[in-house]
A and B are shown apart, each in its own frame.
Chain A
Amino acid sequence: MNVIEASGLGKRYGSTWALRECTLAVPPGHVAALVGPNGAGKSTLLNLAVGLAAPTTGAVTVLGGLPPGSPAALDGVAFVAQDTPLYKNLSAADLLHLTRNLNRRFDQRYAQSRLGELGIPEKRKAGQLSGGQQAQLALTLALARRPQLLVLDEPMAMLDPLARHDFMATVMTAMADDGVSVVLSSHVLTELERVADYLVLLSQGRVQVAGQVDDLLASHRMLTGPAAGADTYADRPVVHVRRGEAQAHLLVRATADDPVPPGWEAHPVSLEELTLAYLREPGASALPGPVRGRPAPRESGQPSEVTR
């Protein structure tokens, strides 16, 4: 059962494609990060997945084949939209009551104890809470619904570092306690390194990279060697080349067991390095299944795979 599955998914607003040919399968039990530059189609993909928008082409399903927006999908998917829109004139207590009325399940005890821990006064109106508190309140409302899938659209964009940390701590606790799968979009890469164990990289409306973070990190190496040799290196597929005066850094698809050419040094990559490298090379891709984009010579070993 994939929590989100898309095939050939496309969305066009007017004459602009916000998302196209998106084929994707996010397995359950992960914190999946949806990463990409602004305008890459992250929000569009999430809006399609929660049923707020309808696809122009292709199809998307959630929680093992449910159409987004169907009663069962609404029941199992909780969504916190960008900028966490809440009814600003309602108190926190009223928002709990409202959400309880609008859903089949609502864990009032959990919600109230969360607000207590966060120090959010129940009588205070949502509009008078700080940005971090509003985000936490929106997250609490979503988690108290006891969803199977939690979808967060840029949840941390407006938060300061401390609030970001607290926010993600809440998400991770819910994941550990409750087994909720999480899909979140973000362009804050450093935050993701700590929490995401599945990466989907969107660029210009297309999926560029998708896979488990561990697999992605294990299948990429940073090679450092003479700048002159950068162009002739062809042992493994090169994702991105960064040249210094004397040295070049090559992000290549290679495992720790792959041989390193003489004169070169291999280092493991961080998620941030890997993400940035792909973002700088919109033509490169690391996808489960056939690889598109630049010709990938001598493809051996799957760069990543999807649990189905």
Chain B
Amino acid sequence: MTALTTPARPKHDAGLQPVPWRRMAWVTWRQHRATLAGVAALLGVLAVYLWLTGLQIHHAYATSCHPASSLACNINFTGRYAVSVNVARVLLQAVPALIGAFAGAPLLAREMETGTFRFAWTQGFGRWRWTLAKLMLLAVVVAAAAGAFSVLFSWYLSPFSAAGYSIPFATDVFDLREVAFTGWTLAAFAIGALAGMLIRRVVPAIAATLAVYAGLALATALWLRQHYMTPLLTTKLSLPASAWIVNQWYTKGGKFAFGARGSQIINAIQHYSCNSSNLSPAQCLTQHGYTWWASYQPGSRFWPFQWIEGGWLLALSVLLIAATVWLVRHRAA
């Protein structure tokens, strides 16, 4: 049993070439092609839907909406396709969450759950390199697919924006546009991967991913996004429709009078009989010596806001992926 013919083998670390990174391309493809096919099918079906209805919408807009205030536009364009757009918006909001839950979360959780990590992590490639390569490859593919898809959505939505029905900052549309949508998809994937490594079981990891993603998206829409840049202040009542009014209030004689909501403004409106005039409450109250103030984000800030949101989501994703790789490397299995 003594080894007389031990083949020549490299000694220790000296000159030990690591297994090339590119080898993980085949491994990742072979192991996750079903997942990638699922992502492709999901985005593909939605893309076909957007493409077909988008063509109709563009056609209706081109034939009926000159001007956009015309009755023909109201009936043949807005009235006919508003529901389609709402359906599309709701469906698309779920896309990053689904990708995070079904592409991100099982990635490591399944390895932990079935014990195959004991196989994968004892191969020559090394466990943290294996994790990093897989996560990066899939993250790039998923983000690229989402980015391409969001371009299609922007095209789909463009007649509504042109007709003034959809302001660019609208909460249910902003995060479906190019940069933000890519960022959200990437972040959802990274959240899923980390949740999978932390929880180590597929179904709870999926649930956690959905919960964390929903919480983050909600918090961003409700509280965070409006603070990306300092809002502008105005007293001019003729703000363009593309502006996103963050806050509004009234002053009288240089002192704060009341906000745009609440019992005080109701009392004032009733006191000056503004509800019976043709004017808007703001116009009416202005005539009675009040000054209307608004802090707002102008429509021209749409792209800076997209890049800010995409930027911090990218940073978050990088952080989450780094944390996942760190866990794989340091946490005892």
The smallest beta-carbon distance between A44 and chain B, in angstroms, is 10
Q: A77: which B residues are within 8 A, CB to CB?
A: 122
Residues of A within 8 A of B (CB): 28-31, 47, 50-54, 66, 69-72, 74-79, 81-83, 85-90, 94, 97-99, 101-105, 138, 145-146, 148, 175-181, 197
Does the CB pair B7–A81 fall under 8 Å?
Answer: no
Q: A71-B13, A87-B31 are in contact. Are A101 and B119 (CB under 8 A)?
A: no
Interface 9-mer from B21-29, B255-263, B307-315: B21-29
Q: Give chain B residues whose Cβ lies under 8 Å from the Cβ of A82.
A: 115, 118
Interface size on B, residues (CB 8 A): 40
Question: CA separation between A31 and B3, bound complex, in Å?
Answer: 12
Q: Inside 8 A of A197's CB, which chain B residues have their CB? A: 1
Asked whether A53 lies within 8 Å of B333 as measured between CB atoms, the reply is yes
Q: Can you give 5 A-B contacts (C-beta < 8 A)?
A: A51-B121, A53-B333, A54-B332, A90-B30, A98-B31
| Residue pair A53, B27 in contact (C-beta under 8 Å) | no
Which B residues lie within 8 Å of A81 (CB)?
Answer: 115, 118-119, 122
Closest residue of chain A to B329 (Cβ to Cβ) is A69
Chain B residues near A52 (CB, 8 Å)? 117-118, 121-122, 332-333
Cβ-defined contact, A179 with B5, below 8 A: yes
Distance between B131 CB and nearest chain A CB, rounded to angstroms: 13
**Nearest chain-A residue to B123 (Cβ)?**
A102
List residues of chain B with CB within 8 A of the CB of A78: 122
Chain A residues near B2: list those with CB within 8 A: 29, 179
Assuming A76-B9, A87-B116, is B333 touching A102 (CB within 8 A)? no
Of all chain B residues, the one with the shortest Cβ separation from A88 is B114
Q: Are B114 and A85 in contact (CB under 8 A)?
A: yes
Q: In residues 174-206 of chain B, which contact A (Cβ within 8 Å)?
A: none
Shortest CB distance A64–B (Å): 8
Q: Is the CB of B27 within 8 A of A175?
A: no
The majority secondary structure among interface residues of chain A is loop
A179 touches B4 (CB 8 A): yes
Q: Which residues of B contact A98 (CB under 8 A)?
A: 27, 30-31
Chain A, residue nearest B116 (CB): A85
- The yes or no answer to B67 lying at the interface (CB within 8 A) is no
How many Å from the CB of A152 to the closest CB on chain B? Answer: 12
Docked-complex contact B123 and A74, CB < 8 angstroms: yes
Min CB distance A155 to B, Å, is 13
Contact status B1-A31, CB under 8 Å: yes
Q: Which residues of A contact B333 (CB under 8 A)?
A: 47, 52-53
Question: With A53-B332, A72-B13, A74-B122 given, is the CB distance from A146 to B1 under 8 Å?
Answer: no
Query: Which residues of chain A have C-beta atoms less than 8 A from B27's C-beta?
Result: 98, 101-102
Distance of A77 Cα from B122 Cα, bound (Å): 8
Whether B115 contacts A85 by the Cβ 8 Å rule is yes
Query: Does B30 contact A97, Cβ atoms closer than 8 Å?
Result: yes
Does B289 sit at the interface, judged by CB under 8 A? no
Q: Verify B23–A101 contact, CB threshold 8 A.
A: yes
Interchain CB contact (< 8 A) of A176 among B1, B18, B23, B126:
B1
Q: Is B81 an interface residue (CB 8 A)?
A: no
Best-surrounded residue of B4, B27, B123, B130 (most CB of chain A within 10 A): B123
**At the interface, yes or no: B6 with Cβ under 8 Å from chain A?**
yes
- The answer for the CA separation of A197 and B3 in the assembled complex, in Å, is 14
Nearest-Cβ distance from residue A43 to partner chain B, whole angstroms: 10
Q: B34 — which chain A residues lie within 8 A by C-beta?
A: 89
**Residue of A at shortest CB range from B114?**
A85
Q: Is the CB of B126 within 8 A of A74?
A: yes
Residue of B10, B19, B115, B122 touching A51 (CB-CB under 8 A): B122
Give the residue name and chain of the A residue nearest to B13 (CB): A72
Cβ-defined contact, A30 with B122, below 8 A:
no
A94 and B9 contact, CB distance less than 8 A: no
- The answer to whether A145 and B1 touch (CB under 8 A), given A71-B16, A97-B30, A104-B19, is no
A99 CB, nearest partner CB in chain B, Å = 7
B16 cross-chain contacts in A, Cβ below 8 A:
71-72, 75, 104
B116 engages A69 (CB within 8 Å): no
Indicate whether B17 reaches chain A with its CB closer than 8 angstroms: yes
Neighbour of B124 across the interface among A87, A94, A103, CB < 8 A: A103
Give the CA-CA distance A89 to B114 in the complex, in Å.
12
B122 adjacent to A66 (CB under 8 Å): no
Complex CA–CA separation, A45 to B9 (angstroms): 26
B1 and A29 within 8 A (CB): yes
Q: Which residue of B lies closest to A176 (CB)?
A: B1
Q: For A72, what are the chain B residues with a Cβ–Cβ distance below 8 Å?
A: 10, 12-13, 16
A71 touches B18 (CB 8 A): yes
> Could you tell me the distance in whole angstroms from the C-beta of B129 to the nearest C-beta in chain A?
9
Partner pick for B125 among A94, A102, A176, A181, CB 8 A cutoff: A102
Residue contact B24 to A101, C-beta cutoff 8 Å: yes
Q: Contact: B23 with A69, CB < 8 Å?
A: no
Q: Which residues of B contact A99 (CB under 8 A)?
A: 123
With A and B bound together, what is the CA distance between A86 and B116 in angstroms? 6
Which residue in chain A gives the minimum CB-CB distance to B2? A29
Would you call A104 and B124 a contact (CB within 8 A)?
Answer: yes
Smallest Cβ-Cβ distance to B23: which chain A residue: A101
Interface 1/0s, chain B 317-332, versus A by CB < 8 A? Answer: 0000000000000101
Known: A72-B12, A99-B123, A102-B130. A146 touches B7 (CB 8 A): yes
Closest Cβ neighbor of B14 among chain A residues: A72
Is B89 an interface residue when CB atoms closer than 8 A count as contact?
Answer: no
Given contacts A50-B122, A103-B123, 11 further A-B contacts (CB under 8 A): A53-B333, A69-B127, A71-B126, A76-B9, A81-B122, A101-B125, A102-B124, A104-B17, A148-B6, A175-B1, A179-B5
> Which chain A residue shows the least CB distance to B11?
A72
A8 → chain B closest CB, angstroms = 18
Complex contacts, A54 vs chain B, CB 8 Å: 330, 332
